[in-house]
Chains A and B, each alone.
Chain A
Amino acid sequence: MTEPAKPVFSRLGAAVTGGGLLSLLRTRTIVALIILLFALVAGIELTRPGTVNALWASNMLLFAAPLGIVAAGQTLVMLTGGIDLSVASVATASAYLMATHSGLGVAPAIFYGLGVGFVVGIINGIGVALLRVQPLVMTLGTGLMTEGLLVVYSQKKMAEAPRVPQFIEDLGAGKFLGGIPNDLIVWVPIAIILIFVLRRTGYGRLIYAVGDNSKACSLAGIRVWRILLVNYVTCGLLAAAAGLIIVGGTDSAELRLAEVYLLPSVAAVIIGGTSIFGGRGGYSGTIIGALILTVLNSILTLLDVPESVRQILYGAIILVLAAAYTRLTD
Chain B
Amino acid sequence: MTTSSEGKSSVTAVPASSNMRLAKRLRRWLRRDPSLFFMPALLIVSLAITVAVHPQFSDFDLQSLAMGALPLAFAAAAQTLVVISGGIDLSIGSVMAVTNVLAASAMEKASFEQSLLLAVAVLVAGAVIGALNGLIVIISRIPDVVATLTTGFIWGGVALVILEKPGGGAPQEFLNLGTGTLFTPWLPNALVLLVVAVCVIWIPLRRSKLGLQLYAIGSDRIAAFRSGVNIDRTRFGAYIFSGLFSAVGGLGLTMTTGIGAPLAGVYYTLSGLAAVVVGGVSLAGGRGGMLGPLMAAFVLTLIPTDLIFLNIDPNFGQVIQGTLIVVIVMIGGFMDMERNRK
Interface residues of A (CB under 8 A from B): 83, 123, 126-127, 131-134, 136-138, 140-149, 151-152, 155, 263, 266-267, 270, 276-277, 306-316, 318-319, 322-323, 326-327, 330
B322 close to A (CB within 8 Å):
yes
Q: A136-B283, A144-B321 are in contact. Are A131 and B154 (CB under 8 A)?
A: no
CA distance A148 to B320 in the complex (A): 8
Instruction: Considering the complex, give the chain A residue whose CB is closest to the CB of B326.
Output: A141
Question: Which chain A residues lie closer than 8 Å to B145 at the CB level?
Answer: 83, 136, 276
Query: 20 extra interchain contacts, Cβ-Cβ under 8 A, other than A140-B325, A266-B149, A323-B140?
Result: A123-B326, A126-B330, A133-B330, A137-B283, A140-B270, A141-B323, A144-B274, A144-B322, A148-B318, A149-B319, A152-B316, A266-B146, A270-B142, A276-B146, A311-B153, A312-B158, A314-B153, A323-B141, A323-B142, A326-B141
Q: A148-B319, A308-B158 are in contact. Are A137 and B325 (CB under 8 A)?
A: yes
Q: Is the CB of B141 within 8 A of A330?
A: yes
Q: Is the CB of B161 within 8 A of A127?
A: no
Q: Is the CB of A312 within 8 A of B317?
A: no
Number of A-B contacts (CB under 8 A): 149
Q: Is the CB of B326 within 8 A of A319?
A: no
CA distance A193 to B330 in the complex (A): 33
- Chain B, 299-342, contact with A by CB distance < 8 Å: what is the 0/1 string? 00000000000000101111111111110011011101100000
CA distance A134 to B330 in the complex (A): 10
Q: Is the CB of B313 within 8 A of A327?
A: no
CA distance A43 to B270 in the complex (A): 37
Question: Which chain A residues lie closer than 8 Å to B337 at the CB level?
Answer: 131-132
Min distance, Cβ A129 to any Cβ of chain B, angstroms? 10
Instruction: Considering the complex, give the chain B residue whose CB is closest to the CB of A318.
Output: B150
B156 close to A (CB within 8 Å):
yes
B131 close to A (CB within 8 Å):
no
Q: Is the CB of B273 within 8 A of A319?
A: no
Q: Is the CB of B329 within 8 A of A133?
A: yes
Q: List 28 A-B contacts (CB under 8 A).
A: A127-B326, A133-B329, A133-B332, A137-B277, A137-B283, A138-B329, A141-B325, A143-B322, A144-B319, A144-B322, A145-B322, A147-B322, A148-B316, A148-B317, A148-B319, A148-B322, A263-B153, A267-B150, A270-B146, A276-B146, A306-B164, A308-B159, A311-B156, A312-B158, A319-B142, A319-B154, A327-B140, A327-B141
B194 close to A (CB within 8 Å):
no
Instruction: Considering the complex, give the chain A residue whose CB is closest to the CB of B337.
Output: A132
Instruction: Considering the complex, give the chain A residue whose CB is closest to the CB of B282.
Output: A134
Min distance, Cβ A48 to any Cβ of chain B, angstroms? 23
Q: Is the CB of A322 within 8 A of B329?
A: no
Q: Is the interface of A mostly helix, strand, loop or mixed?
A: helix
Q: Is the CB of B142 within 8 A of A322?
A: yes
Min distance, Cβ A263 to any Cβ of chain B, angstroms? 6
Question: Which chain A residues lie closer than 8 Å to B330 at the CB level?
Answer: 126-127, 131, 133, 138
CA distance A99 to B77 in the complex (A): 41
Per the 8 Å Cβ criterion, residues 274-313 of B in contact with A are 274, 277, 283, 313
CA distance A147 to B316 in the complex (A): 10
CA distance A145 to B64 in the complex (A): 25
CA distance A170 to B330 in the complex (A): 41
Question: Which chain A residues lie closer than 8 Å to B161 at the CB level?
Answer: 306, 308-309, 312
B171 close to A (CB within 8 Å):
no
Question: Which chain B residues lie closer than 8 Å to A311 at the CB level?
Answer: 153-154, 156-157, 160
Question: Which chain A residues lie closer than 8 Å to B229 at the CB level?
Answer: none
Q: Is the CB of B322 within 8 A of A319?
A: no
Instruction: Considering the complex, give the chain A residue whose CB is closest to the CB of B336.
Output: A132
Q: Is the CB of B277 within 8 A of A148?
A: no
10 nearest A-B residue pairs (beta carbon): A144-B322, A311-B157, A145-B322, A308-B160, A148-B318, A148-B319, A323-B140, A141-B325, A131-B333, A315-B154
